[in-house]
Structure 1
Amino acid sequence: MEAFYSVLLLVLATIVANTIYPYFSVIPQAFYQIFAGALLSLIPMFHHFALEPEVFMLLIIGPLMFFDGKNASAKDLRRNVGSIASMAIVLAVLTVVAMGYLAHSMVVGIPLALAFALAAIVTPTDAVAVSSITTNMAVPERVMGMLERESLFNDASGLVAFNLALAAFTTGKFSVGMGVKHFLIVFFGGLLIGVILGGLAVWARVLLVQSGMDSSSVIIPYDIIVPFLIYLAAEHLELSGILAVVAAGLMYSFSSKQLRLSSTQLQLVSRSSWNIITSILNGFVFVLLGATLPTVWVNIQQDHTKDLTTFLILAVVLYVVMTALRYLWIRFDWALIHSKPKKRRSYALVGALSGVHGTITLAMAFSLPLTFNGAAFPYRNTMIFVAAVVIILSLLVPTIVLPFVLPKKTATVDPDQLEQERKALVAYASERLAQENPDTPASAQAVIQVLNSQTNNTRPDKKVTRLLLNQATQMEVKAVQGLADDGTIPTPFANRYVRLLLMKSQMSSRNPLVNTNIWFRFVGHRLWHLITHHGDRRKRRERLQTGQRHSHRGGDRSRPGHVSAAEQERRESFMLVEKTIYTQVMAFLTEATTIDNQAEVNAVRYYYNARHRRFESTQTANEQSELFIQAFQHEYTYIRQRRSSKEIPRALADELYQQVSTDQMLYTQEIAGEE
């Protein structure tokens, strides 16, 4: 149970860090996650927290690498095989060898095999961490592509080298020939088993869809369990589980056309599910780093107090030398990204600084055995500490330096203009929908409310909302007043209704004089009407009394469930008032809507729709489905007209088309599921 609570707290810390990040996005997201983990370390259950290395690799790294492979471009990978081999294999192996000898020479007493293991830990790069740092910066496309391809495969190179180094340490035996042979078998064997099992997984998924079992409750769990099964199978055969899941993910990427034959709803749910899972897992790793780093620090102070400075210097030297190696490799175009000579220097600097270390580095550090020959594994805390410092340096340095090197990212579409046009097209569609559907106002307003809710991410202004509510209240009073003047509803009922309406409005208003003014105007109008229409009032009273006598003769008052004539009249009057008020208020809101007050109008519309739904049951799925189709057609018409008149650029029109298309898919799928 303690393990469950620990994992739950780690996930909650990840969610909290991800929630805070958008408000202060200048600082990379990973730092918020590390800080959240550091706060967790204050809780007693995290004072000696340790996650099983095998479980960590299986549950976190496996699905993350599968997702990266699944989203990789098959065409791009085929075109850049040379660059991948150069960065992910040649440079990775060279870095492990160089860093291993350097660490062995700097730390007295550390075995050479463990020095190589440490070098293998700090070699892999993390493209996801790079993306979080460079969110608002324009990274050259060639450099970013190189980083993404490199991170797919150098993880496996680092892991294979790491396992070889650990095996050499634990057995005491190692030969270069056997090591190279083992590296090739594990590396390419992992790729082969991943291709085979990934192909089988794709075939089984397509078969499930073709058999009609394409519901999200079947396919989504199937997709999630695939990387775990493939990872376990590869590890059971003593091959690279990481490369196996990457290869399986690539098979999903190669088979994207076949996988698209599933329903739109399934594709949307699948994409959303994977985005959520990977976001949580990536954050989970950095939270775990923050949670374990204080414990590692304490353990190092207790075991090697005099060497703590040495370990800090070692981490800094390893980071500097690795960055220099990356710079030279890209500067002389050994990375094979085929950049122009005049741009190689800037590309090399950006590529070197963007060699950020993250998930895989920390995962390998945590995967170090806890014990060796019945005792604590030697230098385990030291290696985790050095890896953590390298990770933090690799995040911190580019965060500080890259903004001075790279220009700010310029969006192809102005966000402010996009937001304004989005509001304008929704306003256009709402107005047309209300005008063309006077016979189904409730259904039309429900659709309008949903459309408007998609364009407003800010809270409604309270002052503007209160003003609209007050104006709507005045509309209600005028509507009741008109019905009473026409004799459609009894005057006593109108008086009671307005009193109750104003009392309710009084409770939510900060200006009681407004409602008092409305009340006096209503009373004055009623008195004047009684004086000027006295004869009409007497005739209406006689008609009403005649109708009541007929009702008494024809009705059986003793019958159970019998409703008196007076009660029936009140009900009919109330329904008539509600219908009249709803129609007039919605017409007023439609007319009052502008691009700037959509949030406030929608808040008032939501209130009246919710009230009206209690008394009207005429909203059907078919009506709303047809109205949604109408609304989307109006939105497409608005975009086409604006584009034809050249009032908006093509890029903005394409973005609007994409948003409307996505909304249409979501709404039609939702309505279809409710029928």
Structure 2
Amino acid sequence: METIAVVLAMLLAVVASGFLVRMLPVPLPLPLVQIALGAVIASVANHGVTLDPEIFFLLFLPPLLFLDGWRIPKEGLFRDKGTILELALGLVVFTVVGMGFLIHWMIPAMPIAVAFALAAIVSPTDPVAVSAIAARVPIPKRIMHVLEGESLLNDASGLVCFRFAVAAAVTGAFSLSDAALTFLWLAIGGVVIGVAFTAGVTLAKNAVSRRFGEEAGSQILVSLLIPFGAYQLAEHAGCSGILAAVAAGVTMSYAELTGRALATTRVQRTAVWDTVQFALNGIIFVLLGEQLPRIFSGAVESVQESGHHSPWWLVVYVLAINLGLAALRFFWVWLSLKFTLFRALQRGEAVRRPSLRLVLAVSLAGVRGAITLAGVLTLPLVLADGTPFPARDLAIFLATAVIILSLLVASIGLPWLLRDLELPTEPEHHADEDRARVAASQAAMQAVEAAGHRLAQGQADADLHAEAAARVMDLYRRRIDGQAQTGEAADRIRKGDAVERELRLAGLGAEREAVYRLARERALSDESARKLVREIDLLEERYR
């Protein structure tokens, strides 16, 4: 019962953090508020939460990585694939090697394999944290696409390197050639299993839905189970479950392009996944806050083993690691941009040299977040011979401090660097969107006309069907005419559409309130009220 009470308290803390971060007079990153609430729980709870690293890894990482792959913008991913790969793969290896040796030299009590594990787990970045920090000064789309693509891939590469380093620490053996071959098997097998599993589940689900109909709850539950299934299958096959979860998410994004799911399924599923993402990210940071007092005590003991008896050496370690990460990232970003410009010049393209502020902004945006935290909390408790894992608490504490300090520095520095920053022009998509609207409207008119003829066949009131079809088709003709107009005529049509949208939204709001009033007066059953409100909500989503 005590464990259940602590879990419920953590969920309540996640909910409270969402309100507190908006109520505070000074804007703070959400993870910092959640860590503080976790520390409050630790101060009042009689028993702490005992973490099983393997279970923690399974519960938290697959859905988060799956969602990253599902929602990553594919256009930006493929357009800037060279830059993204340089940051996501090259920078990870550069960081692991550079920081691994630096940490081991600075903290001799931390074995070299543990130092490399810590370096690997602090290499992945978190674009969600960057988006939250830069909400006051929005990050340019192209930079955000690069950061999202980098995060998607460096989550996988960093976690795979982390697994190698942990295995070396546990077993005490490491072979570079064996590791290279194992990495190829882990990567290729994980990606293939993730793609094949998701594609197979999607095809089976669609076949069942076509034959027996679609139920939104079942569809949503299937989407929630896919990352766990892909992860478990890959792990049992001896491949990377991490890469399988990422590949499953990317495959899911392409499967969605078929448009098989009903609109209601998509609306509900988006809400469910947003909740899952918010809850998992929040619980990770609250859980860290709950574990922090014990982690700090263990970190102090590890520092004393290094010959330093003052806990202030922890501050020195944290600052040195953050400065090292910042220097390595700045150098690699600068080198990557130079290489990108050189390749563009070789192709004869006209390029504009980015400013130093842009390089600093991309470097500073390397904020660490939930993936780093979730990964470091999965460090084993014991080695293969049963002895305690060396410097485990110190590694967790240092990773936590890196997250906190990177959040604070980025929350202060990013808005200043991005304010009034001149960037190369980005391609506009308004024309593509207009063409898509016209094509969609034309397809809709054809479908309405065909449906009208089909419904009118054999009916005595065929004129009624024709009038209804004409009214619906008129809406699409107005949309097409609006896209074809230019100048004042186009502005007038668009303003008219905007006014019509506001009127429709006002009417839908009044409808919803009337339904709720009837339900409160018990003039309408709860079931009927929920049905009517859902229909109104779907229409409102359409107009918004």
In which range does the TM-score fall when normalised by the shorter chain? 0.7 to 0.9
**Residue 511 of structure 2: aligned partner:** 450
**Residue 365 of structure 1: aligned partner:** 376
Tell me, yes or no, if the aligned pair for 2:92 and 2:123 is still in contact at 8 Å.
yes
Task: State the Cα deviation string for residues 170-207 of structure 1 (Å, max 9, x = none).
Answer: 22222222222222222232222211212212212322
Distance 1:368 1:621, change over 3 A: closer
Alpha-carbon distance between aligned partners in 2 of 1:148 and 1:337, rounded to the nearest angstrom = 18
Stretch moving more, 230-239 or 267-276? 230-239
Task: State the Cα deviation string for residues 17-75 of structure 1 (Å, max 9, x = none).
Answer: 112223337211112111111111112345x4332111111111110111111112334
Distance 1:185 1:44, change over 3 A: same
Alpha-carbon distance between aligned partners in 2 of 1:7 and 1:163, rounded to the nearest angstrom = 28
What is the identity, as a one-letter code, of the residue corresponding to 2:327? A
Report SS of the residue matched to 2:368: coil
Task: State the Cα deviation string for residues 134-170 of structure 1 (Å, max 9, x = none).
Answer: 1121212222111100111111111111111122222
| 1:203 maps to 2:203 | yes
**Residue 375 of structure 1: aligned partner:** 387
Alpha-carbon distance between aligned partners in 2 of 1:139 and 1:295, rounded to the nearest angstrom = 37
**Residue 28 of structure 2: aligned partner:** 27
How far apart are 1:397 and its partner, in Å? 0.4
What is the identity, as a one-letter code, of the residue corresponding to 1:331? W
What is the identity, as a one-letter code, of the residue corresponding to 1:298? S
Alpha-carbon distance between aligned partners in 2 of 1:254 and 1:429, rounded to the nearest angstrom = 33
What is the identity, as a one-letter code, of the residue corresponding to 2:374? A
**Counterparts of 1:26-45 in structure 2 under 5 Å?**
26-45=27-46
Alpha-carbon distance between aligned partners in 1 of 2:376 and 2:516, rounded to the nearest angstrom = 54
How far apart are 1:92 and its partner, in Å? 0.3
**Residue 300 of structure 2: aligned partner:** 301
Which of 337, 347, 367 is matched with 2:358 structurally?
347
Task: State the Cα deviation string for residues 224-282 of structure 1 (Å, max 9, x = none).
Answer: 11111111111122222111111011011112222x22221111111111111111111
Report SS of the residue matched to 1:211: helix
**Residue 146 of structure 2: aligned partner:** 146
Which of 297, 319, 324 is matched with 1:321 structurally?
324
Alpha-carbon distance between aligned partners in 1 of 2:185 and 2:168, rounded to the nearest angstrom = 17
5+ unaligned residues in a row in structure 2: which ranges? 345-350, 422-495
Alpha-carbon distance between aligned partners in 2 of 1:115 and 1:404, rounded to the nearest angstrom = 34
Query: Identity rate of aligned residues, in percent?
Result: 34
Alpha-carbon distance between aligned partners in 2 of 1:288 and 1:164, rounded to the nearest angstrom = 25
Count of matched residue positions in the alignment of Structure 1 and Structure 2? 454
Distance 1:610 1:256, change over 3 A: closer
Alpha-carbon distance between aligned partners in 2 of 1:179 and 1:49, rounded to the nearest angstrom = 34
How far apart are 1:132 and its partner, in Å? 1.3
What is the identity, as a one-letter code, of the residue corresponding to 2:403? I
**Counterparts of 1:381-392 in structure 2 under 5 Å?**
381-392=393-404
Alpha-carbon distance between aligned partners in 1 of 2:41 and 2:504, rounded to the nearest angstrom = 50
How far apart are 1:429 and its partner, in Å? 5.9
Distance 1:383 1:430, change over 3 A: closer
Tell me, yes or no, if the aligned pair for 1:326 and 1:352 is still in contact at 8 Å.
yes
Alpha-carbon distance between aligned partners in 2 of 1:93 and 1:430, rounded to the nearest angstrom = 52
Alpha-carbon distance between aligned partners in 1 of 2:136 and 2:245, rounded to the nearest angstrom = 31
Tell me, yes or no, if the aligned pair for 1:83 and 1:336 is still in contact at 8 Å.
no
Tell me, yes or no, if the aligned pair for 2:505 and 2:540 is still in contact at 8 Å.
no
**Residue 110 of structure 2: aligned partner:** 110
Alpha-carbon distance between aligned partners in 1 of 2:217 and 2:338, rounded to the nearest angstrom = 44
**Counterparts of 1:452-467 in structure 2 under 5 Å?**
none
Alpha-carbon distance between aligned partners in 1 of 2:504 and 2:244, rounded to the nearest angstrom = 50
Alpha-carbon distance between aligned partners in 2 of 1:153 and 1:177, rounded to the nearest angstrom = 23
Tell me, yes or no, if the aligned pair for 1:124 and 1:357 is still in contact at 8 Å.
yes
Tell me, yes or no, if the aligned pair for 1:142 and 1:337 is still in contact at 8 Å.
no
Alpha-carbon distance between aligned partners in 1 of 2:233 and 2:270, rounded to the nearest angstrom = 25
What is the identity, as a one-letter code, of the residue corresponding to 2:32? F
**Residue 449 of structure 2: aligned partner:** none
**Residue 2 of structure 1: aligned partner:** 2
What is the identity, as a one-letter code, of the residue corresponding to 1:181? L
Distance 1:136 1:192, change over 3 A: same
Report SS of the residue matched to 2:203: helix
Which of 333, 336, 357 is matched with 1:333 structurally?
336
Greater relative contact order: 1 or 2 (C-alpha under 8 angstroms, separation 6 or more)?
A: 2
Which of 385, 396, 417 is matched with 1:405 structurally?
417
Tell me, yes or no, if the aligned pair for 2:292 and 2:397 is still in contact at 8 Å.
yes
What is the identity, as a one-letter code, of the residue corresponding to 1:205? K
**Residue 100 of structure 1: aligned partner:** 100
Report SS of the residue matched to 1:39: helix
Task: State the Cα deviation string for residues 563-618 of structure 1 (Å, max 9, x = none).
Answer: xxxxxxxxxxxxxxxxxxxxxxxxxxxxxxxxxxxxxxx9xx987x689x67x88x
5+ unaligned residues in a row in structure 1: which ranges? 410-420, 434-446, 454-601, 633-658, 667-675
Distance 1:660 1:241, change over 3 A: closer
Alpha-carbon distance between aligned partners in 2 of 1:103 and 1:119, rounded to the nearest angstrom = 8
How far apart are 1:337 and its partner, in Å? 6.5
Tell me, yes or no, if the aligned pair for 1:107 and 1:310 is still in contact at 8 Å.
no
Report SS of the residue matched to 2:260: coil
**Residue 268 of structure 2: aligned partner:** 269
Report SS of the residue matched to 1:333: helix
Task: State the Cα deviation string for residues 456-491 of structure 1 (Å, max 9, x = none).
Answer: xxxxxxxxxxxxxxxxxxxxxxxxxxxxxxxxxxxx
Tell me, yes or no, if the aligned pair for 2:104 and 2:111 is still in contact at 8 Å.
yes
Task: State the Cα deviation string for residues 92-149 of structure 1 (Å, max 9, x = none).
Answer: 0111000000011101232211111111121111111111111121212222111100
